[in-house]
Structure formats: structure tokens, C-alpha cells
């Protein structure tokens, strides 16, 4: 039990509205990012530098496996700072072609008894043009992913053009890109996981992917097994670089918080942990380890990280765990993974990947 989870978290959770707190943290990170003088102190506190954690994937160096998941830094406000808070990579977005306000508040709910969050933000973001402007002035010391969503006003048939606009606008700033077709909060979006629709999007994006930057697809934990296979097969046939598994779930099984059960939106955190690991395992088996997997969903402890890697994930991301466990989470996960590796006699992180499959 840390000071954060015993004292600070209960205080923050009781006294602040979740969205207000999120805005405050983003503003703080954006300000910190403007003062390189603080970077060494942050590094000393939050980062773990160890060659056993370092991976070269798609020609990019990931100094550590745990990254910041999409949705926290939707507008690229903290790009300078994420490496100094211990993350091995960061993913901004989802960014849509058109700036949009998202759904009306309240739209973000904490479920402490379930170690979970429900959100129905609805891709609130400044839009690709504004985000591109912000990226001009920032520099990420770690690989930067850009997660692309579909604008609410764009009909499903025009989704390929909508994704392409953002992709081209942001192309020079991202090290990898993600097609997000799995958020539950944009009406119809998840229908784009249907292979016919998805194929049009992959085809359009790969046609303008001049430098062959890694393109990934992010999927929902609610997909049936046959649909996961279909998406993964399609991803392989269009030369995608990987899959992110998974987004939030529309399921509500086993929740203790009965009141929150009725809130619409995507559920994240501990309740999605097991299903997301199952999806990772399924993808790894299907592709025989040939498609890189970023595992996300309910990572709170080193054991959770280990399980996702052992199921086949080469990289990991966190959102809800970071809120619940506090800013030290990347440090604790990376240290914990090193300890587990030592216990198992492993010399490098990559030896964990797929070992349980
Ligand atoms: C408030 C909130 C907003 C999110 N927004 C996005 C988003 O814009 N795009 C996206 O791909 N995923 C988004 N996610 C999903 C996360 O990236 C992640 O896939 C999911 O929450 C499961 O991981 P976790 O249990 O560590 O939170 C969001 C999650 C939360 C909690």
C-alpha cells in the first residue's frame, strides 16, 4: 500500500470531479513539459533504465514496455513529459478529422469498489489540424503513437477519407499510427470492425502511407472469437504492423457498483483485464507471433503485465491502472517485471513474450 493509494487517492477521489481532475493533471503535465530543467529530477524518480527492458521494434527503440494508453492525452498536451514519468512510449488521441466537443457531461465515472472507470467521452478533441500545430512545438524522447478516430459527423461510408485526412495531417509527427474502430461512444463506430468496412480503411491508409510507418488496429474486447480472427487476418493481409488489444468493454458482468452499471459507455480497469489477456492470447496463436501485439486492459501490478506479455504482447499500455495506482505505476511495473525475470532466470524481456501460449 503506497502513500498514494492510502491517502492521496481517497482524498482526490472524494473531493474532485473525475474530468476536472483529469484536466488539472493534463494542464500540469503540459506546464512541466515546458521546463526541461525538471526532467532529470523526474527521470530519477519515475524511470527505470535497464537494457533488459529495451526493445527494437519496427526499427524504433522502446526503452521500456509500458506506454500511456490513448485517451489520456487526446490533444497532445503532454508529449514532452511522458518519457520523464517513466513511460516507454506514449499514444496521443483519439484524434478525429473535425474537432468535436464529445458527449455532454457527466461522462466519466469512477467505480472504486471495482477498480474501474466508465467513460462515454465520445472523442472530445481539438481535431487533426489543431493537434498537428501543437506537435510542431513538442519533442517526444520516446516513440509517439497517434491514435485516429472517426469524426461523429462523418457517415460510416466516408470513414476512409476521414481517417486519411487525419493520417496525412499528422503523418510527420507520429512514429506509429492506430486505427481506432473500437470505442463504444461514437454511434456506429464499432461497425467499422466489420471486415468489409475495415478493408476500405486499411486500403486507403496504406495507399498514402508513403514511408511505411507502422499502422495498427485497436479492437474491442467484446468481439466474438470469429470476428477477432477475421480482423487479424485482414490486418496481416494489408501489411499492418500490429494490433492493440483491447479497448474498453460494453459488458458489465460482475460489477459491485450497481448504480454505475446503468451508465452507458466503455468500462475499463480490473473488469476488462482477463478478457483483454484472452484476446491477446488468441491473436498470438492465430498469427503464430508474427503480428506485434500491444496489450492493454486492467494493468495495475507487475503480475498483470507479465500475464499479458506471456500471452503474447510485446508492448503494454495503461490508463485506468495509472489513475488507481498513481504516477509511480510505470516505475513499479518495470521494476516488478525485472524482479519476475530474475526469478525465472530470463535475460531479456522478449523472452516472456508468448511463453504461456
Ligand atoms: C476516460 C477514457 C478515455 C479513453 N479514450 C480513448 C480514446 O480516445 N481512444 C482509444 O483508443 N482508447 C481510449 N480509451 C481506452 C484506453 O486506451 C484503454 O484501451 C482501455 O481503457 C483499457 O485499458 P485500462 O484498463 O488500462 O484503462 C479511453 C479510456 C478511458 C478510461
Give tens-digit pLDDT for 12-50: 998 889 999 999 999 999 999 999 999 999 999 999 999
Q: Exactly one of 183, 268, 276, 314 is catalytic; name it.
A: 183
Please indicate whether residue 183 is annotated as part of the active site: yes
Residues 307, 11: Cα–Cα separation, whole Å? 31
Residue 335 pLDDT greater than 90, yes or no: yes
pLDDT of residue 3: 84
Band the pLDDT of 6: cuts 50, 70, 90: confident
Residues 29, 141: Cα–Cα separation, whole Å? 15
Q: Is 108 in the pocket of ligand 1 (CB under 6 A)?
A: yes
**Can you give the pTM of this predicted structure?**
0.98
Q: How far is the CA of 354 from the centre of ligand 1 (A)?
A: 24
Residues 202, 217: Cα–Cα separation, whole Å? 9
Q: Name the residue with the closest Cα to ligand 1, atom 6.
A: 71
Q: Name the residue with the closest Cα to ligand 1, atom 3.
A: 71
pLDDT exceeding 90 applies to what percent of the chain? 94
* pLDDT single digits (tens) 301-314: 999 999 999 999 99
* pLDDT single digits (tens) 223-276: 999 999 999 999 999 999 999 999 999 999 999 998 888 999 999 999 999 999
What are the start-end ranges of the H helices in the chain?
Answer: 3, 9-15, 18-32, 39-46, 128-136, 159-170, 195-207, 225-237, 258-261, 273-287, 302-310, 320-325, 329-344
pLDDT of residue 265: 97
Q: How far is the CA of 344 from the centre of ligand 1 (A)?
A: 32
pLDDT of residue 15: 85
HSE (CB half, 13 Å, CA atoms) of 267?
A: 26
Residues 127, 98: Cα–Cα separation, whole Å? 5
pLDDT exceeding 70 applies to what percent of the chain? 100
Q: Name the residue with the closest Cα to ligand 1, atom 11.
A: 70
Helices 329-344 & 302-310 angle (0-180, nearest 10): 60
Q: How far is the CA of 55 from the centre of ligand 1 (A)?
A: 24
Which atom, in ligand 1's list, is nearest to the CA of 119?
A: 1
* pLDDT single digits (tens) 62-102: 999 999 999 999 999 999 999 999 999 999 999 999 999 99
pLDDT of residue 324: 96
The mean per-residue pLDDT over the stretch 330-351 comes to: 98
Complete domains list, the chain, with CATH: 3-351 (3.20.20.70)
Residue 139 pLDDT greater than 80, yes or no: yes
Which atom, in ligand 1's list, is nearest to the CA of 247?
A: 19
* pLDDT single digits (tens) 261-298: 899 999 999 999 999 999 999 999 999 999 999 999 99
| 52-73 exposure pattern, b = at least 16 Cβ within 10 A, e = fewer | bbbbebeebebbbbbbbbbbbb
The mean per-residue pLDDT over the stretch 163-180 comes to: 98
Cβ pair 266, 83 in contact under 8 A: no
Rounded to a whole number of angstroms, the distance between the first and last alpha carbons of the chain is 32
Amino acid at each position: 500500500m503506497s502513500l498514494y493509494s492510502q491517502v492521496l487517492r481517497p482524498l482526490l477521489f472524494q473531493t474532485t470531479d473525475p474530468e476536472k481532475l483529469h484536466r488539472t493533471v493534463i494542464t500540469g503535465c503540459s506546464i512541466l513539459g515546458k521546463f526541461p530543467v525538471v526532467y532529470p529530477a523526474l527521470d530519477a524518480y519515475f524511470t527505470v533504465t535497464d537494457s533488459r527492458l529495451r526493445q527494437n521494434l519496427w526499427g524504433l527503440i522502446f526503452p521500456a514496455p509500458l506506454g500511456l494508453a490513448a485517451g489520456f492525452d487526446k490533444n497532445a498536451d503532454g508529449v514532452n513529459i511522458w518519457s520523464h514519468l517513466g513511460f516507454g512510449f506514449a499514444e496521443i488521441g483519439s484524434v478525429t478529422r473535425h474537432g468535436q466537443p464529445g458527449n455532454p457531461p457527466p461522462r466519466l465515472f469512477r467505480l472504486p469498489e471495482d477498480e474501474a472507470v466508465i467513460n462515454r467521452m465520445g472523442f472530445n478533441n481539438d481535431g487533426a489540424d489543431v493537434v498537428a500545430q501543437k506537435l510542431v512545438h513538442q519533442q517526444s524522447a520516446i516513440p509517439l503513437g497517434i491514435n485516429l478516430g472517426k469524426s461523429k459527423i462523418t457517415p460510416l461510408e466516408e470513414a476512409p477519407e476521414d481517417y486519411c485526412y487525419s493520417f496525412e495531417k499528422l503523418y510527420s509527427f507520429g512514429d506509429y499510427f492506430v486505427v481506432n474502430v473500437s470505442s463504444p461512444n461514437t454511434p456506429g463506430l464499432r461497425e467499422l470492425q466489420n471486415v468489409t468496412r475495415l478493408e476500405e480503411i486499411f486500403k486507403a491508409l496504406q495507399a498514402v502511407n508513403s514511408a511505411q510507418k507502422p499502422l495498427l488496429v485497436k479492437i474491442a474486447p467484446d468481439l466474438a472469437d470469429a470476428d477477432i480472427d477475421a480482423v487479424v487476418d485482414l490486418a496481416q493481409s494489408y501489411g499492418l504492423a500490429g494490433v492493440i488489444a483491447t479497448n474498453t468493454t460494453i459488458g458489465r458482468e460482475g460489477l459491485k457498483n450497481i448504480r454505475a452499471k446503468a451508465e452507458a459507455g466503455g468500462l475499463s480497469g480490473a473488469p476488462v483485464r482477463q478478457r483483454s489477456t484472452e484476446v491477446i492470447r488468441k491473436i498470438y496463436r492465430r498469427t503464430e507471433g508474427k503480428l506485434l501485439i500491444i496489450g492493454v486492459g486492467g494493468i495495475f501490478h507487475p503480475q498483470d503485465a507479465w500475464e499479458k506479455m506471456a500471452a503474447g504482447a510485446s508492448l503494454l499500455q495503461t490508463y485506468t491502472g495509472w489513475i488507481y495506482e498513481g504516477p509511480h505505476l510505470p516505475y513499479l511495473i518495470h521494476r516488478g517485471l525485472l524482479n519476475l525475470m530474475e526469478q525465472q532466470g530470463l535475460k531479456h524481456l522478449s523472452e516472456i513474450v508468448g511463453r504461456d501460449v
